[in-house]
Structure 1
Amino acid sequence: MRQIVGIEPFRTERAELLAEGNRLTALYKELGATEDGFAAYHGFVALHARYRELLPDIVVSRCPFSDRLVYWPLDIVDVDGWFWNACNPVRRTDPVPHTWLLMGGAMRLDGPPAPAPFRRRVGPGVPYVYTEALEHPEMRAVISEVPVGPHTGWAITYHCSVHRPRGLALEPVWGSDHYDVAVAPRRYAAWDDNWHTNSRDFELRPWLDSGKLLWIAPGDTTATLRTGSTDCPYLDLPGIRGYHPPF
């Protein structure tokens, strides 16, 4: 049985890992292919590995078909963590349930984001769905709230009862430019293909009432799936209906 990684060990080491890793990364860029430069390179690679190992498993969904909880190794402390480096994210590719297909995301920023020496792309400012993906008859999506430091994030996870539908475009995993998702150890679902051809729909009510879009209430430790638009807290939220500029 898979061991779930908790938040406290990560929180304890995180600040020191980021500070030293960012210092060594900058030093390597300055020194380049020299003895000291390679020493800096190996140093930050080791720190990345430790950060990756400590990333806590966060519940982002529950499969509507199997009722299985879906965990994601995710940095919820703040957006200055290497997980949120859009171009070169430091993440674990843990196996996902066989029904898992996509995970988009959105985030409402509460004040200026913490500075970091890399670009972040956290999605739109309110939740949305990918129209073409959710129109598939065997597809369901689940929205859950994921606080990230002072900011409010939403994971939108897509589950399909059949193998990846032919012709459906994949999308980068939330906060990343990549789709590098393991379906089993050392077996990957796909790599970087068919980007950004699904249209985004911010009008969630019809999807909720149709049963295609389900939701988990904020702070619900049981991660109970709920249906319908009545009492859904993710409707009509204020925020950017389009991607935040990279920061």
Structure 2
Amino acid sequence: MSRLRVLVTGGSQGIGLGIAAVFARQGARVVISGRDETRLDRARHELSVKGLPVEVCVGDVASKQGCERMAARAVELLGGLDVLCANAGIYPEVGLPELSEDDVDAMFATNLKGTIFSVQACLEALAESRRGRIVVTSSITGPATGFPGLSHYGASKAAQLGFVRSAALELAPHGITINAVLPGSIRTEGLDGLGADTIAAMERCIPQRRLGSVEDIGYAAAYFASDGAGFVTGQTLVVDGGQTLPELPLHDH
């Protein structure tokens, strides 16, 4: 993986930053993109002090034009593109009775349109690489589980998988694979304000009795991007510590 050229959308924090760190640690050249330039610069510094250099690219995947500009800049910085990690996503909680058209539009603009048009914008470069890989960050929420207040989020994440399966058929003749990682409960900055009791309750729902790390998702993405996964496309990989397996609530033991 020493010379892979990788673009990670939504790479300035959370899972995206973990994905970028794993690829950079394995020797890839990485561009992280996001909407907030200050946050991107902070992420670049955070990785650089660990000896993991990355480039940054400001871009908003919620519009087709934003995806095109982002892809063009990433290709310019890297001199081409081998891997797209379509990771950018939002997850504001809104109860179904209060859910507005704007809420749904914003969710689908980033999570679904952002995935589709990021892929579309990178297709030419990925085909030119002759070993193009696309890794979509979906979720167990929607495809496998539900969560109150996240009905629109779950719908967007399930929709991503429908896209992945059909896109895999179109992309296969071009030597491009596309697969999805479905994270379970992952320890990110968004959980910091929940408190120790809530975190402990979340951990009790997971057979491994811990939250996943952002690097856990990064290693799954790195597998899909590897030569070893060259014959794998249109597939999903659940990374949840066994969270979706129990038929009944887990008991402490």
TM-score computed with the length of structure 1 as normaliser: 0.29
Q: Give 1 or 2: higher helix fraction.
A: 2
Structure with higher Rg: it is: 1
